[in-house]
Structure 1
Amino acid sequence: MQKKSGGRPSQTPAQKKDMLLVVKENTFLMEFLIAQLPTKSRNNIKSLLKNKQVWVDDKVVSQFDHPLLSGQKISISASRSRVEKKFTEFTILYEDEAIIVIDKSAGLLSVATKNEKRRTAYSMLSDYVKRSDSSNKIFIVHRLDRETSGLMVFAKNEEAKKLLQENWNGAGTQKSYVALVEGKLEKPEGTIVSYLTEDKVFKVHASQNPKKGLKAVTHYSVIEASSAFSLLEVKIETGRKNQIRVHMEELGHSIVGDKKYGATSSPIRRLGLHAQKLEFLHPLSGEKLRFETKIPPAFYSVLKRKHR
């Protein structure tokens, strides 16, 4: 997904120019576009909305019934590019009136703790949305461990948060991670099912007793391996705290850098876990959204090293 830092998608001289329109009277987006684009069919216009090519006052809008006010500016992009804004510790991959999707760096907290209030994804995004309107807010949908990098979704209103959380473990949501683990697995793929519970020092433990925790289901498959390490694709059906980390320890192949859950090595000097793919239904439009990031290069570099 090619994106530009702030504003509308960039274009080269060879590309068609963006179309800029001004709303003359209060109406709805679909009605306005049909009237202003007589050469395009209703399906053509739906495609523009679906592909995030319609901007209302510099914000992507995909809802056909989005209300418009007189004086607002509508921009129609010639490309399917999406917004990307880079910050020091995360990148905004996608933003509209209801959600923000980011790619978080390892080491950044999702939300505040007793010892850290400001240096969190939540706090930084809250500051970001308030730049355009001091009443804007950010809402937590799910979390990533501090040392886990990758995709996170935040809501921009209570309704979006509620709808996303209600469906976060449903059939419409798919979450895929990559994990760099110690050792070479005997089986190329498998599933781990156990019941997780957290102790007084905040460490999660696995049990096969249904009465001793919440059910957690993790699927894995080997992407690539060396004699000392394996790179796995990991998909989770449930979203329990530390689930993948605990299940990898239970499998006998702890995630590198995860001393808390049995790791004895730290070849990349961080936790070897990255939230790489995410697919979910937009909470307002119902559109299926899919995001994918690159596997961190350091994960692959470890596999290419010679190990004694």
Structure 2
Amino acid sequence: MHLENGIVLNVETEDEGKRLDIYLSDHIKDYSRNSIKKLINDENIKVNNFFVKASYKVKPKDNVEIIFPTTTEIAIEPQNIPLDIVYEDDDIIVINKPKGMVVHPAPGNYRDTLVNALLYYTPSLSQINGSLRPGIVHRIDKDTSGLLVVAKTDTAHIKLAQELKEHNITRKYRALTEGVIKEDCGRIDEPIGRHPIDRKRMAVVSKNGKRAITHYKVLERFDKNTLIEAKLETGRTHQIRVHMEHIGHPIVGDPVYGYRKQKFNLKGQLLHAKELSFLHPITNVPLKFKCNLPEDFLKIINILRVK
């Protein structure tokens, strides 16, 4: 639920027992744990209409109300950044995001994002997620390229968000992994949460994680690598990257979850959101989009094929 200058979260069973600050850092991606503690200490957060400490252990059905101080509102500057628009109508835009572009502004990074480019391109973007994330229904990582859908109206945004929640949006990726995967296909069903030590990383965790399911299919095997198709059933932060590392086949070029010594001079992981399918939020017409692999990805594939 969204307020005029905040949000309300309802604690689910899988989050039971988490400290309030940890719970919120898991659910509010743009705020660090220290920033969240400040919000708590400044009495900008209530649980069941009461102010509590950061150490409060959340319980299922707790009502957590977060008010973001208006003084933190920053006017996001429209920037003339080229966009690769795959499809557009009065309700949605489908974009092929390049590697290296952050999807939306966040503290410390208010320029050169997809949102900056969108604001220059069109004034028509949904306001469901506030001024920092207009139109943004779902995200892909900075160094992951590929397709994502943007909502131009609040009605379209709400319906797309519901489709996403009900796993009715199909997202298929291409990834080049380290090592040779023996199985032709597989299903990874492992919970993902914040790394217990390094809070900037995600990890497969035994507690305080959310269920995450990734399906993968081998497309091509090389001497020491595998090209796969990965299909998301859920949409956790860094899900494919974390799951592939977990099974011993991290994605080539991944600076966080990949090998320390990389054999290719890459800037970021070879992970590309190649296919996106969903029902149009207004007309209910089935839509399916595909885009080609970016040049750096194709270059490495071609190198591996001639070895």
TM-score between both structures, scaled by the size of structure 1? 0.65
1:224 aligned residue (220, 239, 252): 220
Work out which of the two has the higher radius of gyration on C-alpha atoms and give 1 or 2: 1
The alignment's C-alpha RMSD in Å is: 2.3
Judging changes above 3 Å, is the alpha-carbon distance between structure 1 residues 190 and 112 closer, same or farther for their aligned structure 2 residues? same
Q: Distance in 2 between matches of 1:227 and 1:111?
A: 38
Q: Deviations over 1:177-231 (max 9, x none)?
A: 0001111111121111111111453200103x3x430000001111112112111
CA contact (8 A) 1:193 1:217 kept: yes
- CA separation of 1:89 and 1:247: change in aligned 2, threshold 3 A: farther
Q: Which residue in 1 is equivalent to 2:118?
A: 125
Given candidates 291, 294, 302, the residue that maps to 1:293 is 291
Instruction: Indicate the larger mover: 297-306 or 283-292.
Output: 297-306
Deviation at 1:126, TM superposition (A): 1.5
For 1:159 and 1:88, locate their aligned partners in 2 and report how far apart those are by CA, in whole Å: 27
Alignment: residue pair count:
216
1:302 aligned residue (297, 300, 303): 300
Post-superposition offset of 1:121: 0.5
- Aligned partner of 1:105 in structure 2 is 98
Q: Specify the alignment match of 1:31 in structure 2.
A: none
Q: Is the 1:182–1:254 contact (alpha carbons within 8 Å) kept by the matching residues of 2?
A: yes
Q: Which amino acid aligns with 1:234?
A: A
> CA offset at residue 173 of structure 1?
1.6
- Superposed CA deviations along residues 114-164 of structure 1, whole A, max 9, x for unmatched, are 221121111210221039xxxxx9411000100000001110111111110
Distance in 1 (alpha carbons) for counterparts of 2:161 and 2:154 = 11
1:116-195 aligned at under 5 Å gives the runs: 116-130=109-123, 138-170=134-166, 172-195=168-191
Question: Which residue of 2 is the match for residue 7 of structure 1?
Answer: none
Instruction: Pick closer, same or farther for the CA change 1:128–1:89 going to 2, 3 Å.
Output: closer
Q: How does 1:269-280 map to 2 (within 5 A)?
A: 269-270=266-267, 271-280=269-278
SS in 1 for 2:150: strand
Give the unaligned 5+ runs of structure 1. 1-86, 132-136
Moved more, 98-107 or 264-273: 264-273
The percent of aligned pairs where both chains have the same amino acid is 36
1:170 to partner: Cα distance: 3.0
1:19-58 alignment runs, 5 A limit: none
Q: Once superposed, which parts of structure 1, at least 4 consecutive aligned residues long, lie more than 4 Å away?
A: none
Partner residue, 2:5: none
TM-score (norm 2): 0.65
Counterpart for residue 28 of structure 2: none
Comparing both structures, which one devotes a greater share of its residues to strand? Answer: 1
